[in-house]
Amino acid sequence: MIITIVGGGSTFTAGIVKSIALRREELEVTEIRLFDIDKERQDKVAVLVDWILHEDLKCDIKLVATTDEETAYKDASFVFAQMRVGKYAMREQDEKISLRHGCVGQETCGCGGMAYGMRTIFPMVKVIDDAEKYAKPDYWILNYSNPASIVAEACRVLRPNARIINICDMPIAIIDVVAAAMNIKDKKQIVYDYFGLNHFGWFTSIQYQGKDMMPALRQYIKEHQILLPDAYLKDKAALGVAPQKESGTEGNRHTRGSWYYVWKGEYEIMENFPEMLPNTYLNYYLQQKEFVEHSDPNHTRANEVMETREKNLFDGIDKYLATGEIDEKVFYAGSHGDWIADLAIALKNDTKARFLVITENRGCLPNMPYDAMVEVPAYIGKDGPEVITQKPIPLFQQGLMMQQLNCEKLLVQGCIEGSYEKVLQAFTLNKTVPSMKVAKEVLDDMIVANKGYWPELH
């Protein structure tokens, strides 16, 4: 059993490898391969991965780090894809160009998400083609490269028969926070219903041991005016006073630094629309003006990550190479890696376990288009997702979803066709953009910034 991690130089690689290794008996994994186009970066991460496998966990899983496609994919059973095309330097451009024009500056939402999506579409197609060429015939690609919704739509159009499942860990991070707020110790006992597009959805039901938790959760959010557990809120310096600093909640990267505002936004949205619990990313669409106002256009989330998680990881690796001492706090391990490894187990062992995945609608959401790539619960077995049909979506949520869906479809069409007009239509249609004129200004600046990454637009 060979598992290939595409984007082996990622700051998340070490944590994902640890999750795989801890499940090595269920996965029967014998070899892990790291594949990245940045050899220097990946080689450094590989030092830490080797320590985790052979010093920390003392397992005999073989480790290979390569920049060669055939070496990476040959006879692989699973490909975990976590690409960041353009790395954090381009993420910083995505966020700052958007904010410069008064638009939401965010990695996966709005103009930044569309720019990132256009960088990622064709590299993801290459991953599929390489897996088809070299991997085992029954391979599965588990893709969590962002922006997952745009990437999923592009794969549907360009490689409709690919053995790929697109996933996202944000709903899981939300459930982690809900569990902490509700003092739930065993998160695996939580069952939830959810519908939406990726980074654009709602929880309709959250149950714990058969009990409906939504009334208590609504009351908690109303009383605290935020969706964060009491223990998190005690660290005022990490939250309200100095929101740009990475500190506070151990084990959940989605609660640190400027993430404070999106958890605060859960309260603000639910004050108006209390029936469902929104995905935190909906703040960028429903409170776009407010999120622009409290953003620092000179110091965005990309800067926070580069100054903390990125710096801590590589400083920690350098220290290990120099002294032989390692601090496990330098690498992130948590629900992100566990979720991916557990999904691989469900596919391999045909467990029919329940997961949230991004998949073609095909009637699952009855009042959304048949070919929409939606995020819904599904049972996972050896043949892939068996989606769980949901009720018709209320008009408000359906209207928002159709606007976002058509924006993403236009973007993918424009990227594939090299159509400036369709990409401009996508930017204009996005709810985070105030006008056609602004959409054009942002797009034109992003074309310059993404030279060499985007296809030519005519």
Calculate mean pLDDT across residues 106-119: 97
What the block records as the tokens of 132 is: 């088809």
Residue 246 confidence (pLDDT) above 70: no
Q: What is the DSSP letter of 257?
A: G
Write down the pLDDT at residue 258.
Answer: 73
Write down the pLDDT at residue 237.
Answer: 46
Write down the pLDDT at residue 265.
Answer: 96
Q: What is the DSSP letter of 182?
A: T
Higher-confidence residue of 259 and 53: namely 53
Residue 195 confidence (pLDDT) above 50: yes
Distance of alpha carbon 293 from alpha carbon 362, whole angstroms: 39
CB-based contact 165:143 (threshold 8 Å): yes
Which pLDDT tens digit goes with each residue over 209-237?
999 999 999 999 999 999 999 887 776 54
Distance of alpha carbon 97 from alpha carbon 87, whole angstroms: 16
Whether 138 sits among the annotated catalytic residues: the reply is: no
Instruction: Read off the amino acid at residue 11.
Output: T
Pick the closest to residue 420 from 438, 445, 402, 447 (CA basis).
447
CA angle 373, 377, 381 (to 5 degrees): 100
Calculate mean pLDDT across residues 115-130: 98
Strand partners, 374: 359
Main-chain dihedrals φ then ψ at residue 85, nearest 5 degrees: -70, 120
User: Which residue reads 């709903």 in tokens?
Assistant: 171
Write down the pLDDT at residue 329.
Answer: 82
2-89+105-166 in CATH: which number?
Answer: 3.40.50.720
Q: Which of 144, 208, 281, 285 is catalytic?
A: 281
Higher-confidence residue of 197 and 334: namely 197
Residue 242 confidence (pLDDT) above 50: no
Calculate mean pLDDT across residues 172-187: 93
Whether 169 sits among the annotated catalytic residues: the reply is: yes
Which pLDDT tens digit goes with each residue over 345-397?
999 999 999 999 999 999 999 999 999 999 999 999 999 999 999 999 999 99
Strands 140-143 and 211-212: unpaired
- Mean of the per-residue pLDDT values for the chain? 93
Question: pLDDT exceeding 70 applies to what percent of the chain?
Answer: 94
Write down the pLDDT at residue 71.
Answer: 98
Write down the pLDDT at residue 248.
Answer: 33
Pick the closest to residue 101 from 433, 450, 448 (CA basis).
433
Q: 259: buried, middle or exposed (CB in 10 Å: 19+, 13-18, 0-12)?
A: buried
Q: Which of 36, 94, 130, 169 is catalytic?
A: 169
| Half-sphere exposure for 409 (CA within 13 Å, toward CB) | 12
Cα radius of gyration (the chain) = 21
Helix pair angle (170-181, 335-349), 10° resolution: 110
Which pLDDT tens digit goes with each residue over 396-452?
999 999 999 999 999 999 999 999 999 999 999 999 999 999 999 999 999 999 999
Calculate mean pLDDT across residues 311-317: 94
Distance of alpha carbon 108 from alpha carbon 281, whole angstroms: 9
User: Under 8 Å CB-to-CB from 416, ≥6 apart: which residues?
Assistant: 121, 154, 157, 158
The CB density around residue 215, as the number of other CB atoms within 10 Å, is 9
Write down the pLDDT at residue 231.
Answer: 80
Write down the pLDDT at residue 244.
Answer: 34
User: Which residue reads 């991070």 in tokens?
Assistant: 173
Distance of alpha carbon 157 from alpha carbon 405, whole angstroms: 14
Residue 241 confidence (pLDDT) above 60: no
Ranges of each domain in the chain: 2-89+105-166
Pick the closest to residue 131 from 68, 81, 79 (CA basis).
79
The CB density around residue 58, as the number of other CB atoms within 10 Å, is 8
